Amino acid sequence: MVLDSANNPHLTYSMDRVDGTLDHKGTRYVGWKQPWAAQEQMGSSGGYHAADIDLDANMHPWICRYQANGQQWDLQVRAFDGTNWSTKLTVSNMGVGSSYARACSIEWHSSTLVGVVYHKQSGKLLYQYSTNGGNNWSVAETIVTGNTAHNSMVIDSSGTPHVAYRKSGALEYTYRTGANAWLMPETVTNSGGDYNSIAVMSDDVPGISYYENNALHYAQRAGDNDWDTETVTGTSGMGWDTALTYGPSKTPHISFYNQTDADLMLAKRLFSSWHVVTVEGTGSVGEMSAIALSPDNGNFSITYYDRSNDQLGIIYQESEASANQYGCRDTGGLGTSLVLDDRGNPRAMSKEKTSLKWWYFSRPSGQ
């Protein structure tokens, strides 16, 4: 999920399950509208539910996804130019269709650099980038070899990508130091790393939220190969599907799923203490959450999967004391990723359950 300059969320989500005779596969993009409404169909092919989204300088959405190709999977980067969707990058035969943990991440920096991180089943975590609007792409750089999963990426203010991932039961971190050169991986923790999410503060210091020993944890880089780690909440089952972002004064906010009670949760650190609250607890809600904060006032927007109603849900905070909740018009909602455009409109990507169609959603001007 990302917010645009007017604090509206934009997001992607998808599903990859079978109910009876219906194959629920595909990915969607959605932009905020009250109610959510389709503006344009993106395509008719099914895709795996690992997807991510970001906006370019024109507030147009770019997504990465895994696309079904016979018995194999292709990585695709797709972009919307205001009228049509087009494919900017295809990497064939990824072999990643067996686990949603084989994520991809996409990030824009300023108006020129777009980067994507993805996993290849042969045992490599890879990075590619373009500096001319996706017309040409670099040769894939190997970040690390081995069986990685649950990768996440953020690009800092200088254009440097930072990557977190799980490998052999440990959470590791690295960043790009130059052309085809990456920092020797640092071990953040030896016994966790699932559902990790990486973000950087205003001074580009990275932090990571993650699930370890059945609980939610947070780590912040203190120096070279030096990480301060802490338990956010030790309650069992707290910490699935984490999403990390920073608010004013570098305050970390983490949305996550309480697997024990099937609730959507939010953790916010105030000074030295974490405040953990239930954002939505009606029914089975909160899987695959994504969070973004308004740069103006720090109010949050969170998207999540509402399993009880089989739909994408969104909660956004209008003031310190109140928040509004909406259900997306489409079914599905696993693997959400949300952004806000320059009018503050949420945008998302979604996958239709029965027809495997991709859709685009957006709010018209003045609404």
- pLDDT band for position 28 (50/70/90)? low
Which residue reads 């070899």 in tokens? 145
**What is the full DSSP assignment across 283-295?**
SSEEEEEEEEE-T
In this structure, which long-range contacts are made by residues 249-254, counting pairs with CB atoms below 8 Å and at least 24 apart in sequence? 250/201, 250/202, 250/203, 250/205, 251/298, 252/199, 252/207, 252/209, 252/218, 252/220, 253/291, 253/293, 253/300, 254/197, 254/209, 254/216, 254/218, 254/291
pLDDT band at 366, cuts 50/70/90?
very low
Domains and CATH numbers, the chain: 2-361 (2.120.10.10)
Per mean pLDDT, which of 54-68, 120-134, 171-185 is the most reliable? 171-185
| Structure confidence by residue, pLDDT tens digits, 140-162 | 999 999 888 889 999 999 999 99
Sign of torsion over alpha carbons 236, 249, 287, 128: negative
* pLDDT at position 269: 92
The secondary structure of residue 184, as a DSSP letter, is: P
Span 224-277, pLDDT tens digits: 999 999 999 988 899 999 999 998 789 999 999 999 999 999 999 988 899 999
How does residue 1 score in pLDDT terms, banded at 50, 70 and 90? Answer: low
Distance CA 259, CA 113 (A): 37
Q: pLDDT for 310-361, tens place per residue? A: 777 778 776 555 555 555 544 555 556 777 666 666 666 655 444 334 444 4
Averaged pLDDT score across all residues of the chain: 79
Cα 54–360–293 angle (5° rounding)? 40
With bands split at pLDDT 50, 70 and 90, how would you rate the model's confidence at 299? Answer: confident
Tens of pLDDT along 278-295?
Answer: 998 989 998 888 888 877
Least reliable range by pLDDT among 17-31, 116-130, 274-288, 296-310: 17-31
Three-state DSSP class for residue 204? coil
More confident residue, 258 or 48: 258
Which tens digits make up the pLDDT trace of 161-177? 999 999 988 999 999 99
- Per-residue pLDDT at 150: 87
Note the pLDDT tens digit of each residue in 34-45.
444 444 444 445
1: its two tokens: 């999920």
Provide DSSP, 34-93.
SS--EEEEEES--EEEEEEEEE-TTS-EEEEEEEEETTEEEEEEEEE-SS-EEEEEEE--
| Confidence check: pLDDT of 3 > 70 | no
Q: Tell me, what's the pLDDT at 128?
A: 97
**pLDDT for res 251:** 93
pLDDT at 184: 97
Q: State the pTM of this model.
A: 0.86
Residue 359 and residue 345: Cα distance in Å, rounded? Answer: 16
